[in-house]
Amino acid sequence: MTEPGVQYSKPLPAMRDLTAQFYDWCRQRELRFQCCTACGAWRHVPREACAQCGSQEWEWARSGCRGRLFTWTVVARAMHPAFQDDVPYAAAVIEMDEGVRLVSRIVDCPPEELEVDMPVEVVFEAVTPEVTLPMSRRVRS
Ligand SMILES: [Zn+2]
């Protein structure tokens, strides 16, 4: 959570169309992905048609928020001044249990401790009153 009174200065998602709907669910602390109501395939990032069957019938289905670390890159040099105090950090791709992949950030684990297939869960961080981002933390067994 950003400290009260501190302006959030990092880039924010473009809040329009289906992307805005995705982040509206995040603001309600629910991770939802599109699920095709014709064939049952999950998809992310948001788009109009199913890549499996072509249907444009779908719903926002709730994710269990669990997945595994699919891959990551360690950002050692900030490419935007607002990230200067965060480096080094891991920008990650999470393979969710539903099968979709989510770009996220690992918030509780130093980059050198990351492992492929590490169990993670999505947690929410309200960075502005309008925008809540899905972050990830490791799940310890
Ligand atoms: Zn489909």
DSSP track, 67-87: EEEEEEEEE-S-SSGGGTTT-
pLDDT tens digit sequence for 106-118 = 999 999 999 999 9
C-alpha of residue 83 to centroid of ligand 1, in Å: 38
Provide the H-helix boundaries in the chain: 17-27
d(CA 8, CA 74): 22
Tokens of 130: 């309008």
Per-residue pLDDT band at 3 (split at 50, 70, 90): low
Supply the pLDDT for residue 122: 98
Supply the pLDDT for residue 60: 98
Provide the H-helix boundaries in 5-55: 17-27
| In the predicted structure, residue 95 carries a pLDDT above the cut 70 | yes
pLDDT tens digit sequence for 75-86 = 999 999 999 999
What are the angstrom distances between the C-alpha of 35 and each of 46, 106, 124, 135? Answer: 10, 25, 21, 21
Supply the pLDDT for residue 4: 58
Specify whether the CB–CB gap between 7 and 22 falls below 8 A. Answer: no
Supply the pLDDT for residue 7: 84
C-alpha of residue 124 to centroid of ligand 1, in Å: 28
C-alpha of residue 22 to centroid of ligand 1, in Å: 19
Burial (CB < 10 A; 0-12, 13-18, 19+), residue 74, is: middle
Provide the percentage of residues in the chain whose pLDDT is more than 70.
96
C-alpha of residue 100 to centroid of ligand 1, in Å: 14
C-alpha of residue 130 to centroid of ligand 1, in Å: 31
d(CA 25, CA 42): 16
DSSP string, 106-121: B-SS-GGG--TT-EEE
The predicted model scores a pTM of 0.91
Supply the pLDDT for residue 5: 58
